[in-house]
């Protein structure tokens, strides 16, 4: 009792946390932590003890299993020692268990004995016994499949042969035999003699993905061996069954096989398809569908590391290379650091790629045409083929070239196989298409967009994308008269599609960011990706159609202008121009894909918030500039230049000096200014002229002499054959930097590039590299001069060819904000076949005639893929394509010939010169500024177009000094100007301002303003001018006839600054 009392009292005074009423006690060296912590530690200790017990139990179980396995192994060996190997049932029981344990020679002896039993007709064989024996042998093969010794290989071969013999028996039901396991085991040893035959025999009809694994290896000897042994038919049937399995199990195929495995599988099919003995490899709907899925599952594009791909791989119009290249294990790898993710293809794989892109696609097109399969089947195959050839974000020239060639083949095929109408009908059947035609406001609601992203909508988006790709290519290849020809949309459907396209582009630009944010968690990511692909391509195609409509005028002007319902505000763009220019100063800041993405939520420009309406307006200017009136864009352009001037020009800076002889303006100017920096050439120049007597002309350059210098350089460099100044043309014979079209429009002289091109094709040809570089440096300087003229708002009397101006807006992928946009290639403006008409109308007409000739007429012309050009005083043939001199023009490839000729003339022959010219131009004028205009508008920007001098506009913006508006001499002056011819009006303006053109936006833009000062009552004196300040010094004749006579004399004198 006393003990119990003591224990109770102790319990009241202490607890096991070590706490007492009077003092702290630490029992067992425990910390004085919280009760929760102590409980957690106790739980952890219990867990450790429990885990230890489980590990001990597991160890005991494993040891027991090992002992039991060893005992069974021992008993099996002891029993098998007593087994004579001749009894079938004993064989079935023992063999599969001891085949790895006993000597291989013993196993071979047992197989020999059992084979005698198989052929023993007296033995009581039943179907079940046969099948059980076959499964026993298959299990044994699976166990020893990795044996690579000579005797092990013999063992596998003997067992496989017995399985084949058993399965040949009529009473055997193959469904009861483990043939899948047998095939898998054989695939591991497919190089063994006879194994491939067995694989094909029992695997060709298997519609499972397991068999696909066999063909994902990059080694194709087995295919070549199969063809040589007349087993190609079985292999073809095998591939067909595999493709059926891929169709049924697409998701599993994507998950279980890597891109490299799928690529190897693709190459092996192509090899089989074009192997010599596989001529009966027929393409049907199942094959095309399975192949399309195979292509579609390749998430990577192809990367070609060599620049000389087309020297090794002939394009589609050639006979093609033979498939003798061998592929090694390490030839196909994923390229690191390349965007998008791509598969590297080495040079010896090019024949396979050539067959895939340049021959196989044509076969598929023919099959679809013969079966009239112009819908989903055709779309799925070619959409996947183009994505593999050139992924959306790829900008590699080779990939773009392959893609262009595929589309070219499709355009050719469309003339006889009208699949475009079928695709258009598919597009029209969708509610989204019809709603877009009539509903085009940002407030149309998210449900409007959701209707376009249903579970089955991927096919519709892919159809739209491929339709746009083909029509974009068609825009480049066709002439205006062929736009509604065979295989094209008729005029009504064409105009309907253009209306849809315009509205869709507006919706995308105004709503793309908010819609993407709304849909990204509601629709399949693959469908959303397809929409974005279509959206970017739509912007490019709409720009092409707009450019063509400038010639064809199918739509009225209001159709192309942004109406007020979209809230576009011209004035709202100006506040952010300074911000844009501030960030343009450092070009590296805008070199990546960091611009305003169409689908990125937010309203930030260069990290600064702007209101949504301002953001929309910026996006319109960036992506749809042609929907804003030209005058507005021109004002934005000049505002950007003014902002740039505030950064590079300081009134306290020293001017850039230069002394130029009037008798040698071009070369002197090049020597003085050709090598100055962009910043120095943008600054105000200090020009001095040397007259014909070697004396400096009087005058200080306040801007007028600079303008006179610029116009004089241009007069000397850009000389037309019909120029009235024969002397100038003769003086310029050593400087043929530019040539003229039949319409007297300038483009770079192709001769320097042709010398290089011909030299690369003919080893005996030589050219002077030093002389070539001098010409190119001068062309670069002329680019600087044109840029300076635009920068100073000096309109010049030079008209450039549209195909050359197209390069001004396409040589840089930068948009208005200065960013290289994602999928920038889609925004590029290339030359079309119709542009050839502006180059040489006779050549254009002759090429059109080729399309109407019969095969015999073409054959009589004996044309090849070459073109005759004058090079260094001689006429030489230049290949249009690699090996072009050996490729004859036929009815099948004449469209490719026409396209190649146009591309050569408009692009290749002037590419190098254009690059140098644009380098000089972009030193002064930022390329993103030019993105606001098309080629026709650039002509206005440079020279004011063909617009006549507006005398009424001049009268409204004139500044008088010593005269009043109602003075007789001023009245007479404007009456005379109104009576002047167009040429004399231009001469008058040039006499006063040094430029024959009025400012683009009118005389209000002239700085200083156009002035007329009273020069007194000296009626015998001539009118003079100070071009540096745009001032006419006019005596107060007070006689209209005298004023006319004196004024005409002055403006026709072509005197220099000394006349003032």
Which sequence positions are flagged as catalytic? 1028
Q: How far apart are CA 708 and CA 701, in angstroms?
A: 10
Tokens 């819908």 map to which residue? 375
Q: What's the residue count for the chain?
A: 1060
Q: Are 804 and 940 in contact (CB under 8 A)?
A: no
Distance CA 644, CA 88 (A): 96
Three-state DSSP at 342 gives strand
List, as own/partner pairs, every contact residues 347-352 make where C-beta atoms lie below 8 angstroms and the sequence separation is at least 24, other chains included. Answer: 347/306, 347/312, 349/267, 349/325, 350/309, 350/312, 350/313, 350/321, 350/325, 351/313, 351/320, 351/321, 351/322, 351/323, 351/324, 351/325, 352/267, 352/270, 352/271, 352/323, 352/325, 352/327
Chain Cα centroid distance, residue 607: 28
Burial of 514 by CB count in 10 Å (0-12 exposed, 13-18 middle, 19+ buried)? middle
**SS3 assignment for 671-717:** HHHCCCCHHHHHCCEEEEEECCCCCECCCCCCCHHHHHHHHHHHHHH
999 near 793, Cβ under 8 Å?
Answer: yes
Q: Are 659 and 667 in contact (CB under 8 A)?
A: no
Alpha-carbon distance 551 to 832, whole Å? 13
Instruction: Report the distance separating Cα 925 and Cα 640, nearest Å.
Output: 10
Structure tokens at 13: 């005074």
Distance CA 145, CA 152 (A): 9
- Helices 127-143, 179-187: inter-axial angle, 10-degree rounding: 30
Cα(690)–Cα(659) distance, integer angstroms? 7
CB 179 within 8 A of CB 228: no
Residues 6+ apart with CB under 8 A from 106: none
On whether the CB atoms of residues 610 and 604 are closer than 8 A, the answer is yes
Q: Alpha carbon 598 to chain centroid distance?
A: 17
């Amino acid at each position: 009792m006393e003990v119990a009392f003591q224990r109770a009292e102790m319990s009241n005074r202490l607890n096991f946390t070590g706490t007492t009423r009077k003092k702290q006690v630490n029992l067992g060296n425990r910390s004085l932590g919280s009760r929760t912590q102590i409980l957690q530690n106790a739980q952890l200790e219990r867990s450790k003890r429990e885990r230890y017990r489980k590990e001990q139990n597991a160890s005991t179980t494993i040891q027991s299993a090992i002992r039991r396995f060893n005992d069974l192994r021992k008993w099996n060996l002891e029993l098998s020692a007593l087994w004579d190997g001749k009894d079938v049932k004993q064989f079935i029981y023992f063999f599969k268990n001891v085949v790895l344990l006993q000597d291989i020679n013993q196993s071979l002896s047992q197989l020999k004995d059992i084979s005698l039993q198989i052929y023993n007709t007296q033995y009581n064989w039943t179907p079940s016994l046969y099948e059980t024996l076959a499964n026993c042998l298959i299990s044994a093969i699976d166990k020893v499949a990795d044996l690579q010794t000579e005797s092990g290989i013999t063992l596998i071969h003997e067992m496989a042969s017995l399985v084949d013999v058993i399965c040949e028996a009529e009473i055997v039901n193959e469904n009861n035999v483990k043939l899948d396991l047998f095939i898998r085991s054989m695939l591991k040893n497919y190089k063994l003699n006879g194994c491939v035959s067995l694989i094909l025999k029992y695997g060709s009809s298997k519609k499972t993905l397991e068999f696909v694994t066999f063909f994902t290896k990059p080694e194709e000897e087995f295919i070549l061996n199969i063809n040589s042994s007349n087993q190609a038919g079985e292999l073809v049937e095998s591939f067909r069954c595999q493709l059926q399995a891929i169709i049924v199990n697409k998701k599993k195929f994507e998950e279980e096989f890597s891109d490299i495995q799928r690529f190897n599988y693709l190459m092996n099919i192509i090899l089989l398809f074009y192997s010599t003995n596989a001529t009966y490899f027929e393409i049907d709907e199942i094959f095309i569908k399975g192949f399309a899925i195979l292509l579609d599952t390749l998430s990577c594009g192809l990367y070609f590391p060599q620049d000389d791909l087309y020297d090794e791989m002939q394009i589609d119009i050639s006979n093609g290379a033979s498939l003798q290249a061998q592929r090694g294990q390490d030839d196909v790898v994923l390229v690191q650091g390349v965007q998008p993710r791509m598969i590297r293809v080495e040079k010896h794989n090019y024949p396979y790629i050539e067959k895939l892109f340049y021959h196989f696609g044509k076969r598929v097109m023919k099959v679809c045409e013969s079966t009239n399969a112009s819908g989903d089947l055709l779309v799925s195959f070619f959409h996947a083929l183009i994505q593999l050839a050139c992924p959306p974000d790829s900008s590699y020239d080779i990939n773009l070239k392959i893609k262009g060639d595929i589309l070219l083949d499709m355009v050719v095929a469309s003339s006889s196989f009208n699949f475009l109408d079928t695709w258009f009908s598919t597009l029209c059947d969708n509610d989204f298409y019809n709603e877009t035609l009539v509903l085009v406001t940002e407030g149309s609601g998210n449900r409007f967009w959701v209707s376009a992203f249903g579970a089955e909508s991927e096919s519709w988006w892919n159809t739209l994308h491929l339709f746009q790709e083909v029509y974009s290519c068609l825009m480049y290849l066709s002439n205006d008269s062929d736009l509604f020809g065979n295989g094209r949309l008729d005029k009504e459907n064409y105009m309907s599609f253009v209306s849809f396209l315009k509205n869709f582009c507006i919706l995308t630009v105004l709503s793309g960011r908010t819609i993407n944010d709304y849909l990204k968690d509601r629709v399949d990511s693959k469908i959303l990706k397809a929409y974005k692909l279509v959206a970017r391509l739509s912007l490019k195609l709409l720009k092409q159609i707009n450019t063509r409509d400038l010639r064809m005028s199918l739509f009225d002007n209001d159709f192309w202008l942004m109406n007020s319902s979209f809230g576009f505000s011209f004035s709202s763009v100006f506040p952010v121009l300074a911000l844009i220019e501030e960030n343009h100063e450092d070009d590296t800041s805008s070199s990546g894909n960091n611009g305003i993405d169409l689908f990125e939520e937010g309203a930030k420009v260069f990290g600064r918030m702007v209101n949504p309406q301002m953001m929309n307006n910026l996006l319109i200017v960036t992506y749809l500039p042609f929907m804003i009136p030209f005058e507005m864009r021109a004002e934005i352009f000049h505002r950007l230049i003014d902002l740039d001037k505030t950064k590079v020009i300081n009134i306290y800076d020293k001017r850039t000096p230069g002394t130029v002889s009037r008798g040698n303006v071009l070369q002197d100017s090049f020597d003085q200014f050709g090598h100055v920096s962009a910043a120095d050439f943008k600054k105000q120049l200090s020009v001095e002229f040397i007259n014909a007597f070697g004396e400096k002309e009087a005058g200080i350059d306040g801007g007028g002499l600079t303008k006179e210098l610029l116009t004089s350089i241009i007069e000397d460099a850009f000389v037309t054959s019909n120029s009235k100044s024969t002397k100038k043309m003769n003086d310029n014979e050593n400087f043929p930097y530019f040539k003229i079209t039949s319409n007297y429009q300038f483009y770079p002289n192709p001769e320097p590039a042709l010398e290089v091109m011909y030299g690369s094709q003919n080893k005996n040809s030589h050219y002077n590299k030093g002389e070539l570089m001098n010409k190119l440096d001068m062309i670069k300087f002329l680019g600087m001069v044109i840029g300076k003229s635009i920068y100073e708002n000096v309109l010049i009397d030079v008209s450039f060819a549209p195909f050359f101006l197209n390069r001004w807006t396409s040589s840089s992928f930068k948009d208005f904000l200065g960013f290289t946009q994602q999928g920038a290639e889609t925004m590029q403006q290339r030359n079309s076949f119709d542009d050839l008409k502006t180059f040489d109308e006779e050549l254009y007409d002759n090429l059109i005639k080729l399309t109407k000739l019969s095969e015999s007429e073409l054959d009589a012309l004996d044309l090849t893929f070459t073109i005759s050009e004058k090079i260094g005083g001689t006429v030489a043939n230049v290949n249009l394509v690699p090996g072009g001199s050996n490729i004859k023009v036929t009815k099948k490839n004449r469209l490719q010939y026409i396209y190649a000729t146009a591309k050569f003339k408009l692009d290749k022959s002037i590419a190098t010169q254009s690059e140098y010219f644009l380098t000089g131009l972009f030193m002064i004028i930022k390329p993103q500024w030019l993105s606001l205009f098309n080629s026709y508008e650039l002509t206005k920007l440079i020279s004011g177009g063909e617009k006549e001098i507006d005398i009424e506009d001049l009268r409204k913006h004139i500044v008088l000094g010593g005269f009043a508006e109602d003075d007789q001499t001023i009245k007479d002056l404007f009456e005379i100007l109104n009576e002047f011819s167009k040429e004399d009006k231009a001469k008058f303006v040039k006499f006063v301002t040094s430029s024959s053109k009025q400012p683009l936006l009118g005389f209000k833009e002239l700085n200083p303003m156009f002035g007329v000062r009273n020069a007194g009552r000296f009626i015998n004196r001539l009118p003079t001018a100070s071009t540096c300040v745009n001032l006419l010094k006019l005596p107060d004749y007070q006689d209209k006839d005298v004023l006319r006579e004196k004024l005409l004399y002055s403006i026709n004198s072509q005197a220099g600054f000394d006349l003032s």
